[in-house]
Amino acid sequence: MPNLKHGQILGGWLAPHPPHLVYAENPTQNEPRSRGGWEVLRWGYDHCRTKLKEQRPDVILVHTPHWQTTVGHDVLAVPKLSGLSVDPIFPHLFRYRFDLQVDVELALGISAEARKLGLTSKPMTNPDFRVDYGTITSLHMMNPNWDIPIIALSSNNSPYFHDTKVAQDEMIKLGIATKNAVIQSGKRVVLAASNSLSHLHFSAEPNPELPEDMSREHVFSQSQYEWDVRVLNLMRSGDVHGLMSIMPQFIDEACAEVKAGGLTWMLSAMDFPKTPAQVHAYGNVIGTGNAVVEWDLTSHKKGITP
Ligand SMILES: [Fe+2]
């Protein structure tokens, strides 16, 4: 009896999560108020909001660097979570009351598929879990109405103790596990890799009186900028193999946040698409390089199927 379910990955987004972006939006969920700022990056997310309204996926999956697990890869598996999430570095910018729904069925499937491939993984079932600001910022910017269930995956922090390549190979397996679980679920899914590109940043806020002072925002260095542009051009040209081959050097030379594995996970889940990605925005936040980038798998084919 064939499996009649044909889940699809509709697309993937590089979805950076500096808390400044939520702060600048002034949503009701976030306590601090701002005068705006970082508009180009925020406008980049408008494309994602529009696309999600068109696609109406069943679930958004996000891999976040700021829920770190020392052992293995945990998957959020509590039906409803709410509470206050505070950014430990920028508590004056991000004190966000979250209230979200999780697709537990698919979360359990991803964790089970990961174990089948030899990874260490377990569902996270603590009902009082405080969701990290990486997950919340990316998902708020993508879908501020929070009317689509989500799943967050933790980042195993082995790259910070062991070899980057070994850790990235593990993320390729996690991507395959994710794809397999999505296909079996029959659901239509959008992926998000929640991370910046170059990640060197100023050691202090340039203007503590006005964090959104855009006259003080700029690239950390020309070298970091050139690395980001090189990587973005590989994405834009659809050269996914070129992108993967320079990833370790990019991580070393630009302290790129992709080290946490989210981008590798997402590209692997999408079968390393040669579809040219669309860069909707690039901008700096306290000197880090951030881009909103879309891989639309529906533009040439109807998502990944068995
Ligand atoms: Fe981060």
pLDDT tens by residue, 47-75: 999 999 999 999 999 999 999 999 999 99
Q: Partners of 40 in the beta sheet?
A: none
Please tell me the distance from the alpha carbon of residue 264 to that of residue 271, in angstroms, as a whole number. 11
Q: How far is the CA of 209 from the centre of ligand 1 (A)?
A: 23
Q: How far is the CA of 1 from the centre of ligand 1 (A)?
A: 45
pLDDT above 90 (res 161): no
Q: How far is the CA of 171 from the centre of ligand 1 (A)?
A: 18
Q: Collect all residues with Cβ–Cβ distance below 8 Å to 299 and sequence separation of at least 6.
A: 275
pLDDT above 50 (res 186): yes
Look at residue 167 in the predicted model and tell me its pLDDT: 78
Cα angle for residues 116, 73, 192 (degrees, 5° grid)? 105
Q: How far is the CA of 128 from the centre of ligand 1 (A)?
A: 23
Q: How far is the CA of 204 from the centre of ligand 1 (A)?
A: 16
pLDDT above 90 (res 2): no
* 256 contacts 197 by C-beta, under 8 angstroms: yes
Q: Each residue of 241-266: pLDDT tens digit?
A: 999 999 999 999 999 999 999 999 99
Look at residue 33 in the predicted model and tell me its pLDDT: 98
Q: How far is the CA of 69 from the centre of ligand 1 (A)?
A: 15
pLDDT above 90 (res 162): no
Look at residue 302 in the predicted model and tell me its pLDDT: 45
Domain boundaries, the chain: 8-296
Ranking 129-133, 157-161, 192-196 by mean pLDDT, the lowest is 157-161
pLDDT above 50 (res 303): no
Q: How far is the CA of 19 from the centre of ligand 1 (A)?
A: 9
* 42 contacts 21 by C-beta, under 8 angstroms: yes
Q: How far is the CA of 186 from the centre of ligand 1 (A)?
A: 32
Superfamily for the 8-296 domain: LigB-like (3.40.830.10)
| Mean pLDDT value across the chain | 94
Q: How far is the CA of 285 from the centre of ligand 1 (A)?
A: 11
What tokens does 121 get? 């993984």
